[in-house]
Copies of this chain bind each other. A is one copy, B any other.
């Protein structure tokens, strides 16, 4: 009995990373290794295009296998970052074979029976999954991590957010395009535009994802609908503007909050200093505020420029930065998988 308990407590999991050759997929593999995820096996899956290539997993190299339904046979946990179309096609097949899927695409995020989880905000939502758990969009994750403790303290009524999003949000090709275009411009050579909607080198592009309702892009609407779902509060108003900027890694967000109750800048600073997943960098006189160059390759959400917004009753303004490939995608997905591990081990013990 005790032996069984121990066995269950130490249960190891067979893990598949779907979209393993992409920018987020590679980051997921790195983070699984860094965090010593309890994996008895890790397989790397991608489209047929990547067959025969290898990806890094710690000191090992994994041969990339073709993502097809049969590849999920015997897999316990899938970490998917393969885009919506592939997710819709393959993840139900993985679930049928008994896997629990953490999906980084937008395919299932707004489905009523799919939990949308940020472990610092709504870890309890994981419990209600039916095989798929959705990982929110990068810009939403850093927003909700930064505001959760403030919402609990003084209740947020309205959020105005303008983003400064890096090109890594458009994947490897987004990163390469900024690099190639910048070099082409310095050499007065022609350049291609394909990964972003317009030239991104030395330019800002107020267009991420297709335009949806009322002149907002889908990237912007995610900041509204995903925030409400994760915060479990349909009354929160959000007005988003999403802009791509010529930065390789890390998203910035200029955030204006309006609360129901008063909250001073010092109170907000204290709440945030104690909030999980948040690092406060806020000593502007000493040039201490979050910047993308400092926050890349880190896991936290960095909050600074915390100040009263006197233009409205109970207003507060923040500047928030996080690495969109780490906390904005891969780290959050692995954290969700860790919640799944804890739940499965607990279930096995019970």
> Which of A38-46, A105-113, A200-208, A339-347 lies at the interface with chain B?
A200-208
CA distance A213 to B284 in the complex (A): 12
Cβ-based interface call for A232 (8 A): no
Cβ-based interface call for A297 (8 A): no
Task: Tell me the chain A residues, 190-238 only, with Cβ under 8 Å from chain B.
Answer: 197-199, 202-207, 211, 214-217, 237-238
Are B239 and A312 closer than 8 Å at their CB atoms?
Answer: yes
Specify how many copies of this chain sit in the oligomer: 2
A63 CB → nearest B CB, Å: 31
- The interface residues of chain B lying within 8 Å CB-to-CB of A325 are none
> Which of A93-101, A141-149, A247-255, A270-278 lies at the interface with chain B?
A247-255
Are B160 and A215 closer than 8 Å at their CB atoms?
Answer: no
Known: A307-B216, A311-B159. A203 touches B293 (CB 8 A): yes
Are A317 and B204 closer than 8 Å at their CB atoms?
Answer: no
- The interface residues of chain B lying within 8 Å CB-to-CB of A306 are 215
Are B215 and A307 closer than 8 Å at their CB atoms?
Answer: yes
A298 CB → nearest B CB, Å: 15
Are A311 and B237 closer than 8 Å at their CB atoms?
Answer: yes
- The interface residues of chain B lying within 8 Å CB-to-CB of A164 are 164, 204, 243, 245
Q: Pick the residue among B205, B248, B252 that contacts A243 (CB under 8 A).
A: B252
Are B247 and A254 closer than 8 Å at their CB atoms?
Answer: no
A220 CB → nearest B CB, Å: 9
Are A158 and B287 closer than 8 Å at their CB atoms?
Answer: no
